[in-house]
A and B are shown apart, each in its own frame.
Chain A
Amino acid sequence: AQSVSQHNHHVILSEAASLELGCNYSYGGTVNLFWYVQYPGQHLQLLLKYFSGDPLVKGIKGFEAEFIKSKFSFNLRKPSVQWSDTAEYFCAVNPNSGYALNFGKGTSLLVTP
């Protein structure tokens, strides 16, 4: 079955640590890729997206993600996390042929001071 996998369900980091959250998908063909973030008590917000072109995309708040087509991956990175990055992070994939935005189960990130 086609799916989106986020391997880390819970991540705890100290401030200034580097972050990498994994995302793999199993869809063939062209895909559009997204990372959304949900801060505590807030709604889902777009962090960054990849449609085409440079596979390294930069988003808001210092986040970036790299699309590696051969690995069907779109991992999220940040060199130095802050306490305010505590949130739930969702990877989502839109097969270019359809309307659906297919989400992973999310990764809960806790950044400790």
Chain B
Amino acid sequence: ETGVTQTPRHLVMGMTNKKSLKCEQHLGHNAMYWYKQSAKKPLELMFVYNFKEQTENNSVPSRFSPECPNSSHLFLHLHTLQPEDSALYLCASSQGQRAGVPDTQYFGPGTRLTVL
């Protein structure tokens, strides 16, 4: 299934590095999401873009910076991360949120990030 792709699949970076995660969806959707999946914790929503507008920032530290240049692409820019930021970062997409209309999110394979 190639509906939502993410690159790279694995990333190791030092605390002073700057890197970016990329997500692309091929489903014609209008909303995209970043989630963080840490061991022994539920998936945590980080950011939501709905029709290219950032509609939610779930109290994420500024060392994570999202970018959504169009409805098919989503980036997560990383800088001066901490070891506790090591996790699986998942991208998802959906048709797009409209008031009162249920929506279904489809997930990519994730980027396994290790911060040394």
Contacts and interface: CB of A to CB of B under 8 A. Distances in A.
Interface of A: 4, 32, 34, 36, 42-46, 49, 51-52, 90, 92, 94, 96, 99-106
A100 B56 contact: yes
Interface string B46-68: 00101000011010000000000
Contacts, number: 55
B56 A99 contact: yes
Q: Give the interface residue-count category, chain B.
A: 20 to 34
A34 B104 contact: yes
Interface in B17-67: 31, 33, 40-43, 45, 48, 50, 55-56, 58
Interface of B: 1, 4, 31, 33, 40-43, 45, 48, 50, 55-56, 58, 90, 92, 97, 100, 102-110
